[in-house]
Structure 1
Amino acid sequence: MIFERSDAFIALPGGYGTLEEIMELVTWAQIGSHKKPCGLINVAGYFDGLLSFLDQAVSEGFLEPEHREMLLVSEDPEEMLERMAAYRVPEMEQWWRS
């Protein structure tokens, strides 16, 4: 129910549950299940390690750059809201087999 009523998803620093939830939502966006923006508020660099991991996944071919860009990141909540308001889903071909 929360998913259906949400316009966007923002994660703040947290643990396994937080990471699981935001990554699941980004994955759903990646496969076209929704077109809602997903973002991380990177308080004091909390998510820097995760972002480095995602950038390495792009570098090594495990993640498309367009998919990496689907996860918005900002330290500033107001900037995040502005970026989410302007967000448009990237045009992508289906990359998985049905």
Structure 2
Amino acid sequence: LLNVDGYYNSLLSFIDTAVEEGFISPNARQIIISAPTAKELVKKLEEYSPCHESVASKLCWEIERIGYSSED
């Protein structure tokens, strides 16, 4: 998320509050990467290492459940 001049600060605060209140898991929160400049954001994205395996595995299960196949 390119957060130039703090444009998305309110959104990020909303998400952080949702984590504090238990509506969003801390692992899911880590999916959102933000920085004030494009250069810094690209650096953070290059260094990003997913830590939300449980979120991703549930998504894979949901895709299998509805019968979606990536080979179609």
Q: Structure 1 length as normaliser, TM-score?
A: 0.53
- In the alignment, structure 1 residue 42 sits paired with structure 2 residue 20: no
Query: Which 4+ residue blocks in structure 1 deviate beyond 6 angstroms?
Result: none
2:17 match: secondary structure: helix
Q: Structure 2 length as normaliser, TM-score?
A: 0.70
Aligned equivalents of 1:86, 1:77: Cα separation in 2: 14
Q: Which runs of 5+ in 2 are unaligned?
A: 63-72
In structure 1, the residue matched to 2:33 is 72
- In the alignment, structure 1 residue 82 sits paired with structure 2 residue 43: yes
Aligned equivalents of 1:91, 1:48: Cα separation in 2: 23
Q: Which runs of 5+ in 1 are unaligned?
A: 1-39
In structure 1, give the amino acid aligned to 2:32.
Answer: L
Of Structure 1 and Structure 2, the greater strand share is in 1
Aligned equivalents of 1:58, 1:41: Cα separation in 2: 21
Superposition RMSD in Å: 1.9
Per the TM alignment, residue 95 of structure 1 is displaced from its structure 2 partner at its CA by: 5.8
Per the TM alignment, residue 92 of structure 1 is displaced from its structure 2 partner at its CA by: 2.9
1:72 match: secondary structure: coil
Question: Which entry has the higher C-alpha Rg, 1 or 2?
Answer: 2
In structure 2, the residue matched to 1:5 is none
In structure 2, the residue matched to 1:59 is 20
2:53 match: secondary structure: coil
Of Structure 1 and Structure 2, the greater helix share is in 2
Higher relative contact order (CA 8 A, sep 6+): 2
Identity %: 32
